[in-house]
Structure 1
Amino acid sequence: MREFTTPALAGPEASGGLADSLYDTAERTPGLVQLSRRAADGPWQDVTAQEFRDEVLALAKGLLTRGVRYGDRVALMSRTRYEWTLFDYALWSIGAITVPVYPTASAEQVRWILAETQAVACLVEDEDAAMTVGAVCDALPDLSGIWQLDRDCVAAITEDGRGVPNALVHRQRLGVTAANIATVVYTSGTTGRPKGCLITHANLAAEADALLGGWGDIFRDAGGDQPATLLFLPLAHVYGRAVQVAAIRAGFRIGHIPEVSTEALLPSLDSFRPTFLHVVPYVFEKIFQRARQAAEDAGRGELFEQARQVAVEWAAAREQKLFGAGPGPSPKLRLRHLAYERTVYQRLRGVLGGRVRGVMCGGSSLRRELGLFFTGAGLQLYEGYGLTETSAAITANPAGRQKLGTVGQPLPGASVAIADDGEVWVRGGPVFGGYLNHPRCTAESLYDGWFATGDLGRLDEDGYLTITGRKKDLIVTSSGKNLAPAALEERVSAHPLVSQCMVVGDDRPYVAALITLDQAALAHWLKTGGREQLDPWAVLADEQLHAEIQRAVAAANTAVSRAESIRAFRLLLREFSVDQGLLTPSLKLRRAAIAEHYATDIEELYAP
């Protein structure tokens, strides 16, 4: 088994709970702006460390009067917003355990999670979510309260605790140790019913401190201003929670927005002006497509394409020099790169608010060429890899030594190994202690501190990890050929018109694919060709469109053998979505659900 370890950073291990850092910061620097919040699309209102501490403390006292006790589990079913962070830290202040639930979860999913965790209360955003929880209340004997944000539950709970002494909260907070469970975060459930991961205060503290110790400098603004980040990742996902914890521990400024759509995200980036971001590849894909389409609409499509190619070449040449594989960008390439700085790259950075220096990207694979483009456009991009069981990232590209297309080296104090069958094993401070109520699954996943991730990968000579697929996703054709579909799907999805691709072929004579179309890109492509009048069903039968997608499939096939190549595909007008149950909330394919939903289409792909 091949193994690579990154040495741990110097410094004491975390001993208390996650809420302690909030109170410590308020004591040391009460005037530090810790968060910014806003109502609707209004201006951002700063919240100092002291003000936030006082809000957390007041809410914690109210939670005690509502019957929440040390060790109780409380569900948070909400989009990313200020109140989520407020409740997280108020609950941690009294030793309670938070249970994130996606607001898009079905009634059955809510029933399962709240019943298994024995949640005593559930925070929701609105009446619809309250009705979802209410519909399954009869099966939840432990649930004693549903708190609704749009009915100002924060003010009501805070008022209830007005007569409670502060010392009662502090007594419970100081009883929390690093070994206590902080949160039960459920896996995405791509291959079955989600499982609750028991994540301790120490796990999240180790994750946050490793990120801050290894990448803290890239989070800071070049002008020396306070680091700031805009949280738009779901706080129901462990990635978003880890970013939140890291920012609070470091005294960075945080803002929240509840949507990831470019229509909501771009204006918020412009007004908040973060210095660093944590994103998923989907965000970069959408920003790139939006920039390219805007350039084409302005008659500057050729200029943008030239600038894109130069950025990719420049970033690739710099990377080669960094690892001793080349001389770096040539004088001619440097001049061309400089020529596009003001006309293209500076404007692209301006879309992100104009102050972003570093971007950490995880959650799924980022296309290497897209990473090279954004790096060449002046963003320091760091890909990472992790799972719910690792409290978010367990590897990331080291600061100043990025190998785009890989997910980097282990975080400080962590180790990565490749088992004989190609499975990725990891260990370190962020690795969880087990699954709630699933001792057999825990025993099958954890071995002497090592966690078997279920992902396939390889380590290069410098200890950089590349993820090549998922063990349970392996496709075995009827001829016995094994195929990890992720790489093919990623290459097909690189085409601007393609939104998603799912490769099929288990027990079939050859490999085929279901391909969904990006609606905005499709509309732009049709308009450019003067065929915007085509109705949706005519589009699916359009020969030019099929020829265009066939080129994308052919390009992807060049990376595999003929036996592994896509021989047929079916275009789907509607994208796979979370609402349909075809994607996880973190936008991963639910393969079994997709195969069942499109069973007829798949059968037709193999019809004689």
Structure 2
Amino acid sequence: MQVANFVEMVGDSIRNNWELDALSNFKGETLSFKETGEEILKFHQLFQKLGVQQGDKIAVIGKNNINWAVTYLATTSYGAVIVPLLQDFHSNDIIHIIEHSDASLLFVSDGIYEKLGKEPLKHLKAIYSLDDLRVLHTSNCEECDFNDIKLETEITPDSFSLPQINEDTLAGILYTSGTSGFSKGVMLPHKSLAVNVEFGVKYIQLEPGMRIVSFLPLAHAYGCAFEFLATFMMGCHINFLGKVPSPQIILQAFAQIKPHLIFAVPLIIEKIYKKKIKPAISKPLPKLMLHIPLLKRVVYNKINKQVSDAFGGNFREVIIGGAAFNTEVERFFRKAGFRFTVGYGMTEFGPLISYVPWDQARLYSCGKPIPYVEVRIDSPNPRKTAGEILVRGGNMMNGYYKNEEATESTIDREGWLHTGDLGVVDKDGYIYIKGRSKNMILGASGQNIYPEEIEARLNNMPYVQESIVVEQQGKLHALIVPDQELIETEQISREKLEEEMENNQKHLNHQLPGYMSISKITLFDKEFEKTPKKSIKRYLYTVTQN
């Protein structure tokens, strides 16, 4: 199947949407598509002055903003390789990744640059501020101030052009956040970007001028491909929220901008459910109404309207991805008729593997494989018995940068990438993920236990903020971080908290088969350590507990 060329799509969108607003910093400056094109060409001049060649690596780290987006578009359309880093990485990891990636240039937010210090970065050709594009450091270039660069002639839609870049050219190296303790550099070619973007353009179908709020990290494949690249190609107006926003800030932006499509991670929806909705429906009257068929719909409709209004009231659907969605929360929002769908992907596919629109979505499923992608379940009975999800397709990575061993252990000889996720598929091709293969626990009688399924129930119980289920001496133990905010609000004593946790354990075990019952709960005073993508570093706790 022929895929459009990524750089050609960038150029076409700029020419076709010339006068429309393209990129905005929320409550700040705005660039039109024409101005974005001008900035890209100025970047290309800068790269030439610095002696940047096609294939050279350019690292970028900082908050979502216009300069981050233009740096990305300019780098990839020049034929250089973008290396986006999550700003939550520790300083030592950032320095290591910059060195490992062989980056020669760095674009970085001022605050992060101050933390890193000049000494570990002095080998770079140049460093620029993502805040205002001023020079922070150059090794040997007197005329390399971006803000002094001017285009020689006025550009028009007819005269604007970008270099021709082959689809097999390396576009980016994305470093995973590493729940197993180390990062790997995922090499994505231009074709991977094109497959993801073209899918978004064909199947999501937004109109030029429609509004998007970008709050997911642009250094993460999901936020970059869909909040930014796909919507840019459709002529949308993208509003960057900047620093990692709280749910309150996000909802304020939704109310003001009224986005036409929303991309989200489960955590945001789950917080709204746990902090706002669940307490409301636990009150006597709503609780009673939810058990009366004729009145149940009244409650669901009211909540659906309230949540939809909180999201700006103007969106076609909310696309949820980036992590597993809590089953209780998903079930509630499905019953309420909320317009959302859950997709599945991973960095190694840049990221999309499966998706369906909200009106075709099925409970607990993450949709069907997108065009260009094949999915196989490594199981003798893929519809009933979970097996590892194997994927291959046009958007698959080239491999891990300078790590052939990891590449060979992930991609087999037939070209299937072993995801490490366990799942089943129904007769219509819908994928249902059960958990991670490395997290699976073998029960005493040989049953497969997926701790994520138990944790999903536990995390919605009173005073539980987050949990991990581990095996200890043949029994299941729950490690729990209590909800300190709620405990302080309700002034709960330690003794009372332990009582509540005992009740949680009883209620949970009542809902589960015997082989999945929890034998012990251990409370943790601090939040579990997480990756920059906010996944719990399970290995730190499973090793400790066994």
Asked if TM exceeds 0.5, the reply is: yes
Q: 1:487 is matched with which residue: 435, 444, 453?
A: 453
- Sequence identity percentage: 27
User: Residue 435 of structure 1 corresponds to which residue in structure 2?
Assistant: 400
The alignment of Structure 1 onto Structure 2 pairs a total of residues equal to 527
User: Residue 320 of structure 1 corresponds to which residue in structure 2?
Assistant: none
CA displacement at 1:479 relative to structure 2: 8.6
**Runs of 5+ in structure 1 lacking a partner?**
1-7, 314-331, 527-531, 577-581, 604-608
Report the CA distance shift for 1:95/1:567 in structure 2 as closer, same or farther (over 3 A). Answer: same
- Taking the aligned partners of 1:245 and 1:360, their CA distance within structure 2 comes to 15
Any residues of structure 2 matched to 1:318-329 within 5 Å, and which? none
For 1:235, what is the secondary structure of its paired residue?
coil
- Is this contact kept in 1: 2:179–2:538, CA < 8 A? yes
Q: 1:13 is matched with which residue: 3, 14, 17?
A: 3
Mean Cα deviation higher: 405-414 or 391-400 = 391-400
Whether 1:542 aligns to 2:495 is yes
Q: 2:261 is matched with which residue: 266, 269, 276?
A: 276
Amino acid at match of 1:84: W
Mean Cα deviation higher: 255-264 or 356-365 = 255-264
For 2:100, what is the secondary structure of its paired residue?
helix
For 2:434, what is the secondary structure of its paired residue?
strand
- Is this contact kept in 2: 1:205–1:245, CA < 8 A? no
- Taking the aligned partners of 2:483 and 2:316, their CA distance within structure 1 comes to 29
User: Residue 3 of structure 1 corresponds to which residue in structure 2?
Assistant: none
User: Residue 324 of structure 1 corresponds to which residue in structure 2?
Assistant: none
- Taking the aligned partners of 2:249 and 2:135, their CA distance within structure 1 comes to 25
User: Residue 116 of structure 2 corresponds to which residue in structure 1?
Assistant: 132
Report the CA distance shift for 1:305/1:149 in structure 2 as closer, same or farther (over 3 A). Answer: farther
Report the CA distance shift for 1:482/1:290 in structure 2 as closer, same or farther (over 3 A). Answer: closer
- Is this contact kept in 1: 2:134–2:147, CA < 8 A? no
CA displacement at 1:349 relative to structure 2: 1.4
Whether 1:159 aligns to 2:144 is no
For 1:68, what is the secondary structure of its paired residue?
coil
Q: Give the TM-score, by structure 2 length.
A: 0.87
Moved over 6 A (4+): 163-167, 477-481
- Taking the aligned partners of 1:293 and 1:449, their CA distance within structure 2 comes to 45
Amino acid at match of 1:435: Y
What are the Cα deviations for residues 365-404 of structure 1, in whole angstroms up to 9, with x where unaligned? 1123322433444532110111111111201234521112
User: Residue 252 of structure 2 corresponds to which residue in structure 1?
Assistant: 267
Report the CA distance shift for 1:171/1:154 in structure 2 as closer, same or farther (over 3 A). Answer: farther
User: Residue 325 of structure 1 corresponds to which residue in structure 2?
Assistant: none
Report the CA distance shift for 1:37/1:107 in structure 2 as closer, same or farther (over 3 A). Answer: closer
- Is this contact kept in 1: 2:166–2:190, CA < 8 A? yes
For 1:423, what is the secondary structure of its paired residue?
strand
What are the Cα deviations for residues 391-450 of structure 1, in whole angstroms up to 9, with x where unaligned? 112012345211121111111232211113811001222221211111122122223332
- Is this contact kept in 2: 1:103–1:129, CA < 8 A? no
Q: 1:98 is matched with which residue: 82, 96, 105?
A: 82
Report the CA distance shift for 1:369/1:485 in structure 2 as closer, same or farther (over 3 A). Answer: closer
What are the Cα deviations for residues 438-489 of structure 1, in whole angstroms up to 9, with x where unaligned? 1122122223332111111111222111111112223357997753321111
CA displacement at 1:186 relative to structure 2: 1.3
- Is this contact kept in 2: 1:476–1:505, CA < 8 A? no
Amino acid at match of 2:405: R
CA displacement at 1:149 relative to structure 2: 2.8
Whether 1:590 aligns to 2:537 is yes
For 2:103, what is the secondary structure of its paired residue?
coil
Whether 1:64 aligns to 2:48 is yes
CA RMSD of aligned residues (A): 3.1
What are the Cα deviations for residues 54-92 of structure 1, in whole angstroms up to 9, with x where unaligned? 222223322332343321111111122222111101112
User: Residue 140 of structure 2 corresponds to which residue in structure 1?
Assistant: none
Q: 1:22 is matched with which residue: 10, 31, 48?
A: 10
- Taking the aligned partners of 1:449 and 1:133, their CA distance within structure 2 comes to 42
Whether 1:120 aligns to 2:104 is yes
Q: 2:167 is matched with which residue: 164, 173, 178?
A: 178
Amino acid at match of 1:292: I
User: Residue 32 of structure 2 corresponds to which residue in structure 1?
Assistant: 48
Report the CA distance shift for 1:400/1:292 in structure 2 as closer, same or farther (over 3 A). Answer: closer
CA displacement at 1:145 relative to structure 2: 2.1
User: Residue 337 of structure 1 corresponds to which residue in structure 2?
Assistant: 297
Any residues of structure 2 matched to 1:100-249 within 5 Å, and which? 100-132=84-116, 134=118, 136-137=120-121, 141=123, 143-150=124-131, 152-153=133-134, 157-162=145-150, 173-216=162-205, 226-243=209-226, 244-249=228-233
Report the CA distance shift for 1:23/1:502 in structure 2 as closer, same or farther (over 3 A). Answer: same
Whether 1:503 aligns to 2:503 is no
- Is this contact kept in 2: 1:289–1:521, CA < 8 A? no
Any residues of structure 2 matched to 1:326-365 within 5 Å, and which? 333=294, 336-338=296-298, 341=301, 343-365=302-324
Report the CA distance shift for 1:135/1:472 in structure 2 as closer, same or farther (over 3 A). Answer: farther
For 2:218, what is the secondary structure of its paired residue?
coil
What are the Cα deviations for residues 251-308 of structure 1, in whole angstroms up to 9, with x where unaligned? 1221111323113212111111111111110010112234238859xxx94566567x
Q: 1:564 is matched with which residue: 516, 519, 522?
A: 516
- Taking the aligned partners of 1:93 and 1:565, their CA distance within structure 2 comes to 54
Report the CA distance shift for 1:150/1:51 in structure 2 as closer, same or farther (over 3 A). Answer: closer
